């Protein structure tokens, strides 16, 4: 409903009230209430940075799970395939099916799910599962026998994370693989628990455990095409002994490398930049007298007469609730504080210093405007969470726009 219709519906006394309380009401010019702009060129550039760092002899399988960290898995996958990605990694069967139905033909590795009800779809859509138990190798082998063709899989080793992965002796693992002749072991993999922590020996120990097991399997004649251990952090900080001949960059594809911990941590060798900008429309702008409570629970009271703006995004859109009274957005090239509680659909900012801000304008939640920038890592620190959570928390109702 535009402002002309609203003013026809509002009686004269209500229109006078809006004017008296300095409420601006106008037809929004922003394209959506809240939206992200994803740069295809930056996704491609980030992939190329990974490709260049690991060199030509290491395959690159970008991770596009969780809707490509909310950047949009289908469009991101198309960009990555056009750049020559060796394959794509997802978390579950449904994610893989969506890519297949969208025309993606590259190999797709399903890293987490191997639920019995989903196995027929794995076969139908040519998805390669990661298997986490010896019993599941036998189950996949039976499925391969019933279809009369070899079915590839990757076997995950629990090298010390204590989550998914086989936790058996090399002898038992070799026997289970050898007994399943219709199932084809294409890859051997593991996952690090604390690869950013250089004050801990856990990553080195996990890598040693993995390589020792791989060597013992090789001695029995089991030599899968791929061995892979590394996601973004071991790539960026060049833990080359942990690369194997395939890497699985996720965070880096979207422009982020997490910081390390520890006195002897190296600097990142990976030059990537955020591919996503997040914006929200201004729904209302008004001036409030000093002492006015703002938002749920009156968490904030105006310390002086102040101009506020109400944004068309809240925690249902992915703005962390904990940014209330502590976060910022960028409005007209300036940092504008979030005031009061972040509510489900709305967020209020102090627009006193943004004199030209009006209804229908957009403000930036993540991104850069002139010299001001807010990225997911900055937002995460303020909210007391991690950048992965910030990106994956951007709701599906936030429109995706590709530029």
Catalytic residues: 65, 296
CB 317 within 8 A of CB 273: no
- List C-alpha distances in Å: 153 to 169, 197, 305: 19, 31, 64
CB 81 within 8 A of CB 99: no
CB 217 within 8 A of CB 174: yes
Question: Cα separation of 181 and 139, whole Å?
Answer: 12
Which tokens in the block code for residue 360? Answer: 């229908």
CB 313 within 8 A of CB 34: yes
Question: Cα separation of 227 and 395, whole Å?
Answer: 35
Task: Give 103's Cβ-side CA count (13 Å radius).
Answer: 7
- List C-alpha distances in Å: 363 to 35, 282, 400: 11, 7, 16
- As to burial, measured by CB atoms within 10 angstroms (0-12 exposed, 13-18 middle, 19+ buried), residue 186 is middle
CB 59 within 8 A of CB 78: no
């Amino acid at each position: 409903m535009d402002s002309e219709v609203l003013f026809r519906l509002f009686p004269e006394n209500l229109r006078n009230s809006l004017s008296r309380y300095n409420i601006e009401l106008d037809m929004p010019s922003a394209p959506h209430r809240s939206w992200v702009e994803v740069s295809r060129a930056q996704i491609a550039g980030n992939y190329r940075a990974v490709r260049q760092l690991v060199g030509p002899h290491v395959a690159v399988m970008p991770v596009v799970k969780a809707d490509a960290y909310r950047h949009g898995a289908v469009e991101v996958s198309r960009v990555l395939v056009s750049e020559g990605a060796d394959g794509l990694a997802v978390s579950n069967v449904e994610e893989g099916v969506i890519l297949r139905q969208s025309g993606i033909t590259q190999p797709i590795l399903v890293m987490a799910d191997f639920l019995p009800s989903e196995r027929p779809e794995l076969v139908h859509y040519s998805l390669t599962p990661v298997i986490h138990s010896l019993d599941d190798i036998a189950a996949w082998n039976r499925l391969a026998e019933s279809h009369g063709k070899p079915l590839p899989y990757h076997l995950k080793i629990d090298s010390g994370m204590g989550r998914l992965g086989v936790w058996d002796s090399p002898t038992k693992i070799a026997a289970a693989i050898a007994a399943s002749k219709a199932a084809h072991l294409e890859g051997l993999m593991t996952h690090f628990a604390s690869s950013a922590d250089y004050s801990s020996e856990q990553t080195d120990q996990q890598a040693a455990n993995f390589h020792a097991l791989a060597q013992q399997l090789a001695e029995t004649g089991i030599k899968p095409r791929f061995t892979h251990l590394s996601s973004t952090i071991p790539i960026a900080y060049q833990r080359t002994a942990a690369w194997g001949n395939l890497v699985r960059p996720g965070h880096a594809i979207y422009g982020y490398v997490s910081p390390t911990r520890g006195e002897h941590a190296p600097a990142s060798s990976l030059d990537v930049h955020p591919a996503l900008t997040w914006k929200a429309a201004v729904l209302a702008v008004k001036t409030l007298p000093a002492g006015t409570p703002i938002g749920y629970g009156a968490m904030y009271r105006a310390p002086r007469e102040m101009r506020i703006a109400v944004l068309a995004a809240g925690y249902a859109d992915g703005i962390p609730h904990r940014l209330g009274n502590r976060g910022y957005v960028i409005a007209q090239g300036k940092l504008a504080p979030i005031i009061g509680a972040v509510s489900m659909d709305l967020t209020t900012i102090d627009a006193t210093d943004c004199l030209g801000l009006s209804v229908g304008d957009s403000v930036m939640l993540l991104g850069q405007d002139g010299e001001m920038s807010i990225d997911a890592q900055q937002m995460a620190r303020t909210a007391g969470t991690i950048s992965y959570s910030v990106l994956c928390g951007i709701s599906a109702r936030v429109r995706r726009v590709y530029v």
